Structure 1
Amino acid sequence: MSSEERVPANERLIDNVDQGRFELCRDDDLAGWLYYTHLKPNRYALRHTEVASGRQHQGVGSALVRRVFDEIRAREGTITVICPFVVDYLARTTAYADLVDARHPGCTDRAAAESARAAAGG
C-alpha cells in the first residue's frame, strides 16, 4: 500500500458549507480543501484544490479528492470537473468515472481546466 493509499488514523472530511469547500483535517489540523459549487439537482462543480503549505508532498491532495468523491457518491451526486488537480486525478483512475455528470462533465484535460479557471478569475 502506498503512502497515498494509507488513511491516517486521525483524518476526517468536513463539508464546510459556509465556505463552499470540503476540508480534510489530519491530526486536527486543516491539511487541504477543495472548493465546490453545489448545483441542482445534486451536482458538485469541483473548482479548486489547495493543500496547506506544511502538508504538501504528503498525499493530502489525492486523499482529499478520493474522500470527496466517496462522499459525493454516498450522497448519490455527480461532479462537474473544473479543477486541474481533479482532472489529473481522474486521468489516473477509472474508479470514479461514474461520478462525472454526463450532461455537464466539465474539463477533460488539464489545459482546458486551467483555461477555465483563469477565465473565472481563480
Structure 2
Amino acid sequence: MTNEELAPVTEHLIDNIDQGRFELYRDEDLAGWLYYTHLKPNRFALRHTEVEASHRGQRVGSALVVRVLDEIRTRGGTITAICPFVAEFLSRTTSYIDLVDARHPGYPDRAAAEAALAQAGG
C-alpha cells in the first residue's frame, strides 16, 4: 500500500440551502450531493442522489446518505424517501426507521421509486 492509500479521508457535510442539496466533501473535493425539498414543519423530501464520476465505486453514496440522515436526526426532522438510492438504503436497515415520516413515507424500495419516476416521466 502506498502512503496515499493509508492516509485517512476527511469528510464533511454541507447543507447548501441555495441549491437545495446536502453536499459531501472528501478531502475538500465535492464527492456527492443529495437534493432535497424542505417541507413544513420539518420534513425533508429526499429527491435525488448523485456521486461525482471521480468518486464512484468508493461508497460515497452510502456515506452521503448516512451523514444526511444523521444530520436530519440532529435537527429533529423526518424524511420522505423519493430518491431510489435512498429508498434502497432504507429498505436494507432499520437504523433510521424513526426518521421516516408516518404520513408521507415515500417509496419502500428502489423498484417502487424507479417505477413511480418512470410513470411520472422523470
TM-score, length-normalised on structure 2?
A: 0.89
Match of 2:30 in 1: 30
Shift of residue 116 of structure 1?
2.8
Query: Greater share of helix residues, 1 or 2?
Result: 2
Q: Taking structure 1 as the reference length, what is the TM-score of the superposition? A: 0.89
Match of 1:17, as an amino acid? I
Q: Does the 8 Å CA contact 1:82/1:116 hold for their aligned counterparts? A: no
State the distance in 1 between where 2:45 and 2:58 align.
25
Q: Deviations over 1:75-108 (max 9, x none)?
A: 0000000001001111111000110000000101
Residues 9-60 of structure 1: CA distance to partner in whole angstroms, max 9, x if unpaired? 4110000001100000001000000000000000000000000000001010
Q: Partners of 2:55 and 2:82 in 1: how far apart?
A: 23
1:50 maps to 50
**1:74/1:106 Cα in 2 relative to 1: closer, same or farther (>3 Å)?**
same
How many angstroms apart in 2 are the aligned matches of 1:41 and 1:33?
23
- Across the aligned residues of Structure 1 and Structure 2, the Cα RMSD in angstroms comes to 1.3
Cα offset for 1:112?
Answer: 1.8
Which residue number in structure 2 is paired with residue 10 of structure 1?
A: 10
Aligned residue runs from structure 1 range 93-112, under 5 A: 93-112=93-112
Deviation (angstroms), 1:121: 4.8
CA distance in 2, matches of 1:101, 1:91: 15
What is the number of equivalent residue pairs in this alignment? 115
